[in-house]
Structure 1
Amino acid sequence: MSNDSLTWLLTKNTSSFLIRRNGNEFAKEKFNLMNRNCRKYSGLAGNKAVDISLKDQKISLSLKKVKATRKPLKNVNVIPLRKGARACGDTIRGNISRNFYRRDLKRAALARLSRLSTVSKVEKGTKSLQL
């Protein structure tokens, strides 16, 4: 049994990030793209994990470094996504699937990018007449 499998067995039912509501199980941990409590998307149980987050209206791609798993400060590689949606999608595809990092998470990462990019857009205000 590998280290990842053992970690998943220990944390799948007792994680502090686990939320159970209406028969559904969710997880709020970082590096969990779909926020589901399953081994495929778990950020705690894998050496290779992907996260796309939004902070201050800026989207960033975070990847876990495989060689720095025991050094938490040096464990994460953060790539800011500053360009348009198509260029950001190309960056995600290049870092996840073309570099053989986690090909199975490509669709989930692109779906999360799509959701976050629509949320981060600021709606145009309307000018009202001042009387």
Structure 2
Amino acid sequence: RCDGNTASSRPPTPCWFSWPPSFCCLVVVSRGFFSIGNSPFSGKMAASAHLSWMIIRNNNSFLVKKRCIKKHFSTEPHNLLNIASFRYNGLVHKKSIDIAPVDKGFKVSWKRSKAAHKPASCYVSRTIKSGPRVALFRLRRLIRCNKYRKDLTKAALRRASAILNSQKRTLKVKKSRPKKSD
């Protein structure tokens, strides 16, 4: 407490700041939001992506650390390359894209930046089930026309292409039989 009014006989603790006692507050970071109590900024403010990244970069449940690998991996949703880095992190950014395989195609899901504080309604998904050329064109157009993150376009196209290549049917090689001799 910054005002120094305590019930015990201890001397009052000095306030580190020169703000009035009503302004001293407790900052709690939870789910990407600041909650500031007893301040002119009371309510919730969105935490910046950089601050959220600094909090979770070395310690979160999605990290996969190995001894001989310098770059750590991450299994979080909406991380296109599964690399633990600020650029590809799907938890801290307001806009992120995820591509997952479905039967004969892939599902694109993305965050709506206006509903970033509402987890139930912030994710939108669309399934694309067409040939590879048309599917990749639609994905590129979806990212470009929605004015989404341009830095994720190439990674999203590569992931979708890899998913479509993995879904190709392998043709069985017909074995040629020797001709019957009379």
Map 1:93-112 → 2, pairs under 5 A: 93-112=140-159
Map 1:26-45 → 2, pairs under 5 A: 26-45=73-92
Structure 2 stretches lacking a partner, 5+ long: 1-46, 176-182
Letter in 2 for 1:118: N
Shift of the alpha carbon at 1:127?
A: 8.1
SS at match of 1:73: coil
Structure 2 CA distance, aligned partners of 1:94 and 1:114? 15
TM-score by length of structure 1 reads: 0.87
Structure 1 stretches lacking a partner, 5+ long: none
Structure 2 vs 1, CA of residues 88 and 118 (structure 1 numbering), >3 Å: closer, same or farther? Answer: same
Structure 1 CA distance, aligned partners of 2:134 and 2:63? 34
Which residue pairs with 1:12 in the alignment? 57
Letter in 1 for 2:85: C
Structure with the higher helix share, 1 or 2 = 1
Q: CA RMSD in A?
A: 1.9
SS at match of 2:55: helix
Q: Determine which of 87, 102, 105 is the counterpart of 2:134.
A: 87
Conservation of the 8 A alpha-carbon contact between 2:111 and 2:123: yes
The structure whose RCO (Cα within 8 Å, separation 6+) is larger is 1
SS at match of 2:156: helix
Map 1:42-121 → 2, pairs under 5 A: 42-121=89-168
Runs of 4+ in 1 over 6 A off after TM superposition: none
Number of aligned residue pairs: give it. 128
Shift of the alpha carbon at 1:57?
A: 4.9
Shift of the alpha carbon at 1:64?
A: 0.5
Whose Rg is larger?
2
